[in-house]
Structure 1
């Protein structure tokens, strides 16, 4: 009796796998047979959208909760200095680990990198709790070091996954889902903040009980990390599989990451990477310096709302079918830059006014609150837009999943260097965020010309899609013979 035909030409049973022969990596699934032979629950689990949702839930539980704590201004502490020191150490180590993150993640796999990272998430929340409750500073600083290593593994795996999972025609929307999940996490965190810190006239740090809720949510990332499937077992919504390459030796992986770090793609995007999250250190210091506890809590609740609309709006622009990929890249770049320039000019004007006349602690019922808070509100949208856009752009150049991991690791490394510098700088300029605002604005200006040069070389089609088509044509020819 003849064997039943598998829906995956290179697989056994129900999941796609990678063969050493590149032609055997058939990248289109026989969906009719797949649906008839694979249980619904397993198809749902292997679906690219499910995997993206699992990743987004982890982003909700981990980085989003971290952002919510940061959104309190100085980590919600009475003085933001220790929080800035801890965060600077965290991003310094994150940068170092990310530098070698590509080889590490490609060796241990996306799933295990996410598991390692998710185990480090609760450490930050618990450290802030101990500092708030007992005045413990050494654990908060140590948590920055531990979190930097663990989060680096998670960030590199996340970057590779978000650039790889989506079908070619839905990358903008998938990235919007990821960004929104991070902001929904901040929304929940903001609700926790406000419920615990809503009394008028309170200055200093938030209540220590605030951090207990964050720790509980951060612990929930681990179970969802365990549900992640390897890339070769994922089936996209359009019936395609993810292009992957053979596992390389450690020596070869290090050579590849060195080549990636010196590639035109990374060199031209380096200033953008340095700038993309540089704003967080200064804007959170601004929030902690000039706003009351309950005003800061309110800010962490309402800041994500506009980001949700903005990210899906950018996603639709980047996925427009009537324009070439290069044209979409150009429109996306100018959209992000114009919005950021407007926010930066507004913020610098406000800070110059504050330097002339110190406003004291601004509460939400003060007349000054709307004009002084709105720049922070909008930067919580324009900042994530720059991240979402850059990952979409990087994925436009990749030939396989492993290259996405390397590109993501390189970008995360430079990005983390920027964050480390920003928070380190703000430990010295706590009472005058104007310096940080001007440096951030200057970095955006420095990044613009190289980014225009890079965007103008964007391929009209994703190289990985072309590789997939060539491999399928080659297989069909062999099958015909």
Structure 2
């Protein structure tokens, strides 16, 4: 069959090796042996799906992870968490608005340029916290919430589409674990910076202003890595498959797809899960800011990512188990995430009830109370990301092409951002009593469970995009035989 294919292409002897390789490719796959022989090593590495995922993960390290590290200081590391909560609430409100339109925006300008726009907005948050801490400039901190919310929304939508699209079907769990771990490694580095700058016993109030300078420097590094991202159609996965993409739609058609996406069964059934998935961050960040000393908060941002790294890769292996059907993996993954979160929520509520009876003041790391009061925060930094990693794996199980992944990711991010905006807005009014946030978060999980069970029980045995690719490849394989 290969000979028939080659002889049917006379007159192309002068084509470049790359062009020849592309001409003998299947519509949604490549001839791996020919590809390796004709395409330079540097280009194969650059086009590899894992390389693109690593580039995306580095950006997550430099941007969202640094933002998480600042949040992990408790109230953004400021002396009082209220202004930080207001800024963060505004940020997520803008994220929700832009994410709602994110599918058409990203599908029009492309994933790469959406990532570039987003990476340019990352340093704004760190610089605003520095100005507030150094000069007491609160208006810039609040304005930065709106500006960074718009830019980061573009990046988030592109990221969501990419993380659900890049991986081969048998490695989606591990790819998503790599993404989650990169965000937590960023928090790990941020935590090391925090602890190095804020380790004096008895220190109270806000984090040292110099801490934010290091964050700004790292946030600036995302841009060059965003420029190295390539379009989906040029990516080659490790199993030789290429990404299924649809024809470019007009702006009017894309806007129509928004209504179709947000009212789809997939998004409707997962919407409460999306609202809940990041809701925890506002309440547990406030908990840390209210009850822990500066150096204890700095230590928390260093050690809290460790268990998440183990947990996310463990979940990734479960979700990629070839011995089980995709639906069975989806069911096991969901119940694992739910059970772990329920345990953490019960523990957190018990601790908060005790604190309401006897105010512990600012707990330091050498206090007897530190371990059992800090561990709920430590574990929620694992169970929370597990819920997001799982949900993106599940969404990608229903997609028919890359553009649909972008639209589904945008809708999920939009609802997710609404949840975060509500959580931080709520905590501006309940800064002295996080138990309200704990209770609401627990209630949202309970409300999300029944719709999610309904959705998970309809998970297809194979990803629709893979089925489409296989059918098109099979049809193209038959063509030379029929013409002969």
TM-score scaled by length of structure 1: 0.96
How far apart in 2 are the matches of 1:371 and 1:14?
60
The answer to whether the Cα contact below 8 Å between 1:70 and 1:76 also exists between their aligned partners in 2 is: yes
Task: State the alpha-carbon separation in 2 of the partners of residues 66 and 148 from structure 1.
Answer: 12
Deviation sequence 1:277-310 (CA, Å, 0-9, x none): 0000000000000000000000000000000000
Equivalent runs, 1:412-423 vs 2, <5 Å:
412-423=413-424
User: 1:292/1:42 Cα in 2 relative to 1: closer, same or farther (>3 Å)?
Assistant: same
**Deviation for aligned residue 1:25:** 7.0
Rounded Cα–Cα distance in structure 2 between residues aligned with 1:5 and 1:144: 55
Counterpart Cα distance in 1 of 2:22 and 2:368: 60
Q: Which residue of 2 aligns with 1:372?
A: 373
- Distance in 2, matches of 1:206 and 1:15, equals 55
Question: What is the DSSP-based 3-state SS (H/G/I as helix, E as strand, rest coil) of the residue aligned with 1:72?
Answer: coil
Could you say which residue in structure 1 is the equivalent of 2:165?
164
Partner of 1:276: 277
1:309 and 2:310 aligned: yes
Q: Post-superposition shift, 1:14?
A: 6.2
After the TM superposition, list the runs of 4 or more consecutive aligned residues in structure 1 that deviate by more than 3 angstroms. Answer: 4-8, 11-17
Residues in 2 aligned to 1:257 and 1:339: alpha-carbon distance in whole angstroms: 34
Q: 1:21 matched to which residue of 2? A: none
Cα pair 2:180 2:312 within 8 Å, conserved: yes
State how far apart, in whole Å, the 1-side matches of 2:23 and 2:234 are. 5
Q: Is the 8 A contact 1:7 1:33 kept in 2?
A: no
Q: Residue 15 and residue 70 in structure 1: after superposition, are their counterparts in 2 closer, same or farther (change >3 A)?
A: farther
Q: Counterparts of 2:431 and 2:45 in 1: how far apart (Å)?
A: 49
1: CA distance between counterparts of 2:117 and 2:259? 24
Structure-2 residue corresponding to 1:455 = 456
Give unmatched runs, 5+ long, in structure 2: 1-9
Q: 1:113 to 1:13 in 2, by over 3 A?
A: farther
Residue 99 of structure 2 is aligned to residue 98 of structure 1: yes
Q: Distance in 2 between matches of 1:35 and 1:7?
A: 14
Q: Secondary structure at the match of 2:244?
A: coil
Query: How does 1:336-355 map onto structure 2 within 5 Å?
Result: 336-355=337-356
The answer on whether the counterparts of 2:21 and 2:34 sit within 8 Å (CA) in structure 1 is: no
- Which residue in the other structure is 1:328 paired with? 329
SS in 1 for 2:429: coil
1:118 matched to which residue of 2? 119
Aligned to 2:293: 292
Distance 1:354 1:15, change over 3 A: farther
Name 2:391's counterpart in structure 1: 390
- State the partner residue of 1:61: 62
* 3-state SS, counterpart of residue 329 of structure 2: helix
Q: 1:29 deviation in Å? A: 0.1
How many Å separate the matches in 2 of 1:261 and 1:335?
27
Alignment correspondent of 2:263? 262
CA distance in 2, matches of 1:120, 1:345: 37
- Equivalence for 1:132: 133
Partner of 1:222: 223
| 1:6 CA displacement | 8.7
Contact 1:186 1:300 in 2 (8 A): yes
TM-score calculated relative to the size of structure 2:
0.96
Distance 1:451 1:363, change over 3 A: same
Q: Distance in 2 between matches of 1:7 and 1:231?
A: 22
Match of 1:20 in 2: none
User: Hey, what does 2:5 align to over in structure 1?
Assistant: none
1:445 partnered with 2:446? yes
Aligned-residue offset at 1:2: 4.0
Shift of 1:225: 0.1
Of 249-258 and 382-391, the range deviating more from structure 2: 249-258
Does residue 197 of the first structure (1) align with residue 198 of the second (2)? yes
CA spacing shift, 1:291–1:227, aligned 2, 3 Å: same
> Aligned-pair distance for 1:383?
0.2
What is the distance in 2 between the residues matched to 1:129 and 1:387?
A: 30
Tell me: CA distance 1:187–1:16, structure 2 relative to 1, closer, same or farther (3 Å).
farther
Conserved 8 A contact 1:260-1:410: yes
The answer for the alignment partner of 2:361 in structure 1 is 360
Instruction: Find the residue that maps to 1:162 and give its secondary structure.
Output: helix
Cα distance in 2 for partners of 1:151, 1:125 equals 13
CA contact (8 A) 1:16 1:232 kept: no
Deviation at 1:7, TM superposition (A): 11
Report the equivalent of 2:409: 408
Could you tell me how far apart the structure 1 residues matched to 2:99 and 2:283 are?
A: 23
User: CA offsets per residue over residues 343-396 of structure 1, 9 Å max, x none?
Assistant: 000000000000010000000000000000000000000000000000000000
Aligned partners of 1:7 and 1:34 also within 8 Å: no
Residues 160 and 408 in structure 1, CA contact (< 8 A), matched pair in contact too: yes
Give the whole-Å Cα distance in 2 for the aligned partners of 1:304 and 1:6.
51
Shift in CA distance, 6/240, structure 1 to aligned 2, threshold 3 Å: farther
CA distance in 2, matches of 1:95, 1:66: 17
